[in-house]
Amino acid sequence: MNLEELLAFAGRHTLLSLGLAGITAALVYTEVARLFRGYKALRPAELTGLINRENALVVDLSSSNDYEKGHIAGSRSVSPSQFDPESKLLAGVKALPVAVVCRNGTASAAAAQRLKKAGFEQVYWLEGGVQAWQQADLPLVKGRR
């Protein structure tokens, strides 16, 4: 296929061509934004390694009921409304690895961005949240810590 045939196809199928261009632009934007967001997304196995190798602080933004039903061992519960990068819990860990999790990964992504803006050097986010952790068949601890 040459450029002439491609342009002829685009002329005959305008909506299809515009849709392809839109999807391509959205994918490029998403990937570029991911590169510059400042924190790193982790899969459950990667978070396990970070906890074991570097003793990462895991901050869980799940509701207290969800936290009590099951959370990552050693994680600290913080309600999303009380999450503050300048809190006592986070005061001395700006240079240490901090991983933020929640039930599905939505609230924790915003919290990871806040930590990065506050000057934290090693910020991680559990992609998919505690649900992804469960789907990976990793253990959860029940009860309040």
Every domain of the chain and the residues it spans:
3-35, 37-135
Catalytic hit among 57, 101, 102, 111: 102
pTM, two decimals, is 0.75
| Residues across the chain | 145
pLDDT, tens digit only, all 145 positions of the chain: 888 988 888 899 999 989 998 998 888 887 776 666 779 999 999 999 999 999 999 999 999 999 999 999 999 999 888 899 988 888 788 889 999 999 998 889 899 999 999 999 899 999 999 999 999 999 999 987 5
Cα–Cα distance for residue pair 88/53, rounded to 1 Å: 24
pLDDT per position as a tens digit, 102-128: 999 888 989 999 999 999 989 999 999
Specify burial of residue 90 (Cβ count, 10 A radius: 0-12, 13-18, 19+): buried
Helix 14-36 and helix 3-12: axis angle, to 10°?
110
81 belongs to the catalytic site: no
Cα–Cα distance for residue pair 96/118, rounded to 1 Å: 14
Give the position of tokens 């990871």: 112
CATH of domain 37-135: 3.40.250.10
- CA 45 from chain centre, in angstroms, equals 14
Task: State the chain's mean pLDDT as an integer.
Answer: 90
